[in-house]
A and B are shown apart, each in its own frame.
Chain A
Amino acid sequence: MSEGSERAIMVAVVTQADRKRAARRTALLLACVAIGIYVAFIVSGILKSR
């Protein structure tokens, strides 16, 4: 395996890890949005039924 292709793999691996990290952050944000919507609807139900 040439040095060039090894470097290409390393770059790709780093990029993949960065992408995974970014993916986890986005996933966390979306999960918070989903939980927020769930809570918001229940809270609005509580406020309306008081």
Chain B
Amino acid sequence: MRTSTINHAGHGHDSHAADHDDHGPAKGWRRWVYATNHKDIGTMYLLFSLLMFFIGGSMAMVIRAELFQPGLQLVDPGFFNTMTTMHALIMIFGAVMPAFVGLANWMVPLQVGAPDMALPRMNNFSFWILPFAFTMLLSTLFVPGGGPSGGWTMYPPLVLQNGTSFPMLIFAVHLMGASSIMGAINVVVTIMNMRAPGMSLLKMPLFVWTWLITAYLLVAVMPVLAGAVTMLLTDHYFHTSFFQAAGGGDPVMFQHIFWFFGHPEVYIMILPAFGIVSEIIPTFSRKPLFGYDAMVYATASIAFLSFIVWAHHMFTVGMPLAGQLFFMLATMLISVPTGVKVFNWTATMFKGSLSFEPPMLFALSFLFLFTIGGFSGLMLAMVPADFQYHDTYFVVAHFHYVLVPGAVFGIMAGVYYWLPKWTGHMYSMKLANWHFWMSTIFVNVLFFPQHFLGLAGMPRRIPDYSTQFADWNMISSIGAFGFGLSQLLFAYIILSSIRGGVKATDKVWDGATPHGLEWTLSSPPPYHSFEIAPDVK
């Protein structure tokens, strides 16, 4: 954020608390079911996401337990495929995306000096759709034929062979999409219309900027996914032939449409994490962010490029040489704005007065490990190499490096950064450090060997494998169990902080003051904050 001063008269709440004490939270279940307060809805999103993180994580444990040794040990291959499909759907749409929406709900109004999200009732609706969507999705595990097992990409004709679970999957995806679009619209209109006087766009905190761009991405691509799955549904039930070759349709067209949604979706899951890291590193370096404007333009460039690289997910289906070259080079071009970000974070730390509290540790881990995922992405962008790597564990290693120590560590960094502000209590630094070190060590034990497995030719989405892959698979599974167990500590730390602990100061972190309006509020912030907009100079 550019240097700005804040008129604390805008803190507002205390001076007018007496006028508004009838606006406190409702009692009991009504507070949550009828919630319109951005903090309550943010909390529900975050808790929902934590629950989904554990459900999706349990499915990952089933996958890694089966892959602990070669041969079929625990589950039948059909159920294994269901686990890979459901793990992806739940982690993407149930854990990572709602976590970022939860963080946006909590932090965007606080960071732009707004009293709430612009459309609070739509905010309530967009959250409460999610439990229904995921109840429906999870209930497919109990219908005849089992849950969806054709992969989260839902490629036809395979997905059309699913039984009763198919329409439930499609309806659940529509609901998730509607929820995401409503959440995104709310973020856009809050940022565009509810900013405090004086907070120009280029004074906004980077988390707000990255979310604004993410929200535009969501509005643009979630309808594309909805269109694709609607066409799948009509192919199955109304005898259309959008994607059925037998009727003159084109199954590869689904892949194009899906990845036109799917690649921006990757950035939807990582751009807010960039924003969080851009908040944390300056705070714990006690320096302003290096190259604020460049960070904003780099984020916008990444978002733009995300629309023109989709076919790198499907080089092996065959495409003209010009198409291969275009998508290869456009994909490699993304490393330029991403490199700008990585170098700017590094330059922010240069000659800074660094300290290594848990948010900073997670941000640093993000910086190193996400970059590994970025480099393996560059390897996959090369068409001839991709023909070798495609559908191997190398791809699994790549996107898990981007999404776990990338997106998930970004979320954890954000939670550790703002948790004392939300609850008013500091958490145990010792336990959080334990959580960090266990997570960082085990995530590498889990995913790094998968690069070797992929390069050696182990295919993804299989429950059994050749004995030559046994050793690295065993190590990967041990990493998975360790990573899964260490997340119990994360849940314990959060719940402990909600229940009590050492009182947090308003500013919470020593270096936090210049970087956002949220630190001008009390910890926890009042139920209605910024009723009078603060004046940002």
Q: Which residues 191-248 of B sit at the A interface, judged by CB distance below 8 A?
A: 192-194, 219-220, 222-224, 226-228, 230-231, 240-242, 247-248
Known: A23-B194, A41-B224. A12 touches B533 (CB 8 A): yes
Judged by a CB distance under 8 angstroms, whether B489 is at the interface is no
Taking a contact as CB atoms under 8 Å apart, the answer to whether A35 and B227 are in contact is no
Known: A9-B16, A33-B219. A26 touches B227 (CB 8 A): no
Taking a contact as CB atoms under 8 Å apart, the answer to whether A23 and B118 are in contact is yes
Taking a contact as CB atoms under 8 Å apart, the answer to whether A15 and B533 are in contact is yes
By the criterion of a CB under 8 Å from any partner CB, how many residues of chain B are at the interface?
Answer: 37
Taking a contact as CB atoms under 8 Å apart, the answer to whether A49 and B223 are in contact is no
User: A42 CB to closest chain B CB, in angstroms?
Assistant: 5
Taking a contact as CB atoms under 8 Å apart, the answer to whether B242 and A49 are in contact is yes
Contact of B227 among A23, A24, A42 (CB under 8 A): A42
A24 to B247 Cα, complex, angstroms: 44
The segment from B182-190, B471-479, B506-514 found at the interface with A is B182-190
Question: B400-411 toward A: CB 8 Å interface, digit per residue (1/0)?
Answer: 000000000000
User: B474 CB to closest chain A CB, in angstroms?
Assistant: 45
Known: A19-B194, A34-B222. A42 touches B533 (CB 8 A): no
Judged by a CB distance under 8 angstroms, whether A7 is at the interface is no
Residues of A within 8 A of B226 (CB): 38
Contact of A38 among B119, B194, B223 (CB under 8 A): B223
Taking a contact as CB atoms under 8 Å apart, the answer to whether B257 and A27 are in contact is no
Taking a contact as CB atoms under 8 Å apart, the answer to whether A41 and B227 are in contact is yes
Known: A27-B119, A30-B188, A41-B228. A49 touches B248 (CB 8 A): yes
Contact of A41 among B194, B219, B249, B257 (CB under 8 A): B257
Residues of A within 8 A of B253 (CB): 45, 48
Residues of A within 8 A of B531 (CB): 12
Judged by a CB distance under 8 angstroms, whether B293 is at the interface is no
Taking a contact as CB atoms under 8 Å apart, the answer to whether A34 and B223 are in contact is yes
Residues of A within 8 A of B193 (CB): 19-20, 22-23, 26
Q: Which residues 288-307 of B sit at the A interface, judged by CB distance below 8 A?
A: none
Q: Which residues 4-50 of A sit at the B interface, judged by CB distance below 8 A?
A: 8-9, 12, 15-16, 19-20, 22-24, 26-27, 30-31, 33-42, 45-46, 48-49
Residues of B within 8 A of A27 (CB): 118-119, 122, 185-186, 188-189
Residues of B within 8 A of A42 (CB): 227, 230-231
Taking a contact as CB atoms under 8 Å apart, the answer to whether A30 and B185 are in contact is yes
Which residue of chain A lies nearest to B230 when distances are taken between CB atoms in the complex? A42
User: A22 CB to closest chain B CB, in angstroms?
Assistant: 5
Residues of B within 8 A of A19 (CB): 118, 193-194
Which residue of chain A lies nearest to B260 when distances are taken between CB atoms in the complex? A41
Residues of B within 8 A of A38 (CB): 223-224, 226-227, 230
Taking a contact as CB atoms under 8 Å apart, the answer to whether A26 and B223 are in contact is no
Which residue of chain B lies nearest to A37 when distances are taken between CB atoms in the complex? B223
A39 to B29 Cα, complex, angstroms: 38
User: A41 CB to closest chain B CB, in angstroms?
Assistant: 3
Taking a contact as CB atoms under 8 Å apart, the answer to whether B119 and A24 are in contact is yes
User: A2 CB to closest chain B CB, in angstroms?
Assistant: 11
Taking a contact as CB atoms under 8 Å apart, the answer to whether A9 and B532 are in contact is yes
Taking a contact as CB atoms under 8 Å apart, the answer to whether A37 and B227 are in contact is yes
User: B467 CB to closest chain A CB, in angstroms?
Assistant: 45
Taking a contact as CB atoms under 8 Å apart, the answer to whether A26 and B257 are in contact is no
Judged by a CB distance under 8 angstroms, whether B250 is at the interface is yes
User: B452 CB to closest chain A CB, in angstroms?
Assistant: 40
Taking a contact as CB atoms under 8 Å apart, the answer to whether B185 and A31 are in contact is yes
A8 to B15 Cα, complex, angstroms: 13
Contact of A12 among B122, B194, B227, B532 (CB under 8 A): B532
Judged by a CB distance under 8 angstroms, whether B282 is at the interface is no
Which residue of chain A lies nearest to B115 when distances are taken between CB atoms in the complex? A16
User: A36 CB to closest chain B CB, in angstroms?
Assistant: 8
Residues of B within 8 A of A9 (CB): 16, 532
Residues of B within 8 A of A34 (CB): 181, 185, 219, 222-223
User: B181 CB to closest chain A CB, in angstroms?
Assistant: 5
Residues of A within 8 A of B223 (CB): 34-38, 41
User: B135 CB to closest chain A CB, in angstroms?
Assistant: 24
Taking a contact as CB atoms under 8 Å apart, the answer to whether B241 and A49 are in contact is yes
A2 to B250 Cα, complex, angstroms: 71
User: B189 CB to closest chain A CB, in angstroms?
Assistant: 4
User: A20 CB to closest chain B CB, in angstroms?
Assistant: 6
Interface residues of chain B, those whose CB is within 8 Å of chain A, are 16, 115, 118-119, 122, 181, 184-186, 188-190, 192-194, 219-220, 222-224, 226-228, 230-231, 240-242, 247-250, 253, 257, 531-533
> 9 interchain pairs (CB within 8 A)?
A20-B193, A23-B118, A26-B192, A27-B188, A30-B189, A34-B222, A38-B224, A42-B227, A46-B242
Interface residues of chain A, those whose CB is within 8 Å of chain B, are 8-9, 12, 15-16, 19-20, 22-24, 26-27, 30-31, 33-42, 45-46, 48-49
Q: Which 10 A-B pairs have CB atoms at the shortest separation, nearest pair first? A: A41-B227, A23-B118, A38-B223, A23-B189, A37-B223, A23-B193, A26-B189, A30-B185, A19-B193, A34-B223
